[in-house]
Structure 1
C-alpha cells in the first residue's frame, strides 16, 4: 500500500518530467529559429512557459540545456524512424527519403547551430563533438538495420556512410533554398547505387 508521501511524489515527478520535456523542445525550436547567439536560457524558459529558475534547476548551464535538447530530439527522431519501418523497408526509396528527411528539419538546423557555436567556443566543443559522434553512430546503425545491409561485405559500410554524408550535404543545401526536386533525383540515384551495392 502506498503512503501519502509516495502518492504526492508521483505527480511531482510527472510535472518535473513534463517541464523538462517542454524545456528540451523549446530549446531545439529556439536554436533552430534564432541560432546560438539568440538562444538564451531565459528565452527558452519563456517559450516553455516556465521560470528561469525552473530551467536552471533542470539544466544548470546553457551548454547542458542545448546539448541535452539536441540529444533528446535525436533519440525521438531515431525512435520515430524505427517506428516507420518496424520490419525493415521493402521500399528502399521510401527509406532513403526518410533518412534524408532527418537532415532537413528543425533538429538538423538546431544541431548545425550547435556545431557552429562549438567551432568557436571551447567549453562547448568537446560536448558537441561527443554528442555528434554518438548521434552519427546511432543513425548509421539504424540505416544498416533498416537497409538490411551486411557490413561484413567489402565496401558496404562505406557505401552506407557515404549515403548518410551525402544526406547531410543535401540538408545543408536545403537551408538556403528549397532543394526538393534535386533531392528527389539524388535519392533515386542513391537507391539504384545501394541496390547494386547491397544486393
Structure 2
C-alpha cells in the first residue's frame, strides 16, 4: 500500500481529536450555564465549571481563555439551542396561538433565563462584560422576535403588530422574573390564556 493509500497517523487521528474537542467544549458550556443558574456570577468560576464538566482547568482555559469568554459563549449556546427547540415544536410553521404563547413564555422560565439574568447583573457592574452581553442579548432578542412573528403568523406591515409581538416577549420576560422566587405556574397559565385571546384580536 502506498503512502497516499495509507493516511499518516496524524491525519487519521485528527477527526477523533476534533470530536473530543467539540464534546469537551459542549460539556463546559452546559456546565457553565448550570453553575450560573445555581450559584450566580460570584460563585461561578472557571475552576468550578471545569470540575462540574469533568475536565481540567487548563482544558477549560484552552477553549475559553477568560471567564467572560466562557459565560457569554455558554448563554449564547443555550439560547441558540432553545430557539432551535422552539422551532422544532412547530415544524409546520404558524400554529395555535395559545400553544405558541406558552412555548415563548417557556423560554423565559427555565435555567437559561436564570443564567442570563445573573449575567446581566454582573454586566451592569463590569464594563468589559457589559459590551459583550449587550451585543449577545440584542442578537438573541432579534431571533426571538423573528421566531415569534413567524410562529404567530403575524403581519408586521399592519399598524401595531410589531409592538404587540414585542409586548408579548416583554410580558414573557416579566413572567420569567416572577418565577425566579416562587412557582408562578397557576398565574402564568391564566396570563398565557389571556394573551392568546388578545393576540387573536390584535393579529386577526
> Would you call these one fold, judging by a TM-score over 0.5?
yes
State which of 170, 193, 199 in structure 1 corresponds to 2:175. 170
The TM-score, its normalising length taken from structure 1, stands at 0.96
What does the per-residue CA deviation read over 1:61-87, in whole Å, with 9 as the maximum and x for residues that have no partner?
Answer: 000000000000000000000000011
Instruction: Tell me how far apart the structure 2 counterparts of residues 190 and 106 of structure 1 sit (CA, whole Å).
Output: 23
Q: Which runs of 4+ in 1 moved over 3 A?
A: none
Q: Measure how far apart 1:89 and its partner are.
A: 4.0
The C-alpha deviation readout for 1:35-88, integer Å capped at 9, x for no partner, is: 000000000000000000000000000000000000000000000000000112
Contact preservation (8 Å) 2:40, 2:115: yes
Partner-residue secondary structure (3-state), 2:70? helix
String of CA shifts for 1:9-49, please: whole Å, max 9, x gaps: 00000000000000000000000000000000000000000
CA distance in 1, matches of 2:192, 2:12: 52
Looking at structure 1, the residues matched to 103 and 55 of structure 2 have their Cα atoms a distance apart, in angstroms, of: 34
Distance across 2 between alignment mates of 1:127 and 1:33: 22
What CA distance in whole angstroms lies between the structure 1 residues aligned with 2:126 and 2:96?
42
Does the aligned pair in 1 maintain the 2:94–2:150 contact within 8 Å?
no
Aligned mates of 1:72, 1:178 — CA distance in 2: 26
Question: What CA distance in whole angstroms lies between the structure 1 residues aligned with 2:20 and 2:193?
Answer: 46
Shift of 1:95: 1.1
Tell me the residue number matched to 1:40: 45
> Whose Rg is larger?
2
Counterpart secondary structure, 1:120: coil
Equivalences, count: 194
- Unaligned 5+ segments in structure 2 are 1-10
| 1:91 shift after superposition | 1.8
Give the CA deviation at 1:92.
1.2
In the alignment, the residues of structure 2 paired with residue 176 and residue 157 of structure 1 have an alpha-carbon distance, to the nearest angstrom, of 31
Alignment of 1:80-119 (within 5 A): 80-119=85-124
CA distance in 2, matches of 1:24, 1:88: 30
CA distance in 2, matches of 1:92, 1:182: 18
TM-score normalised over the length of structure 2? 0.94
The CA distance in 2 between the partners of 1:94 and 1:7, in whole Å, is 48
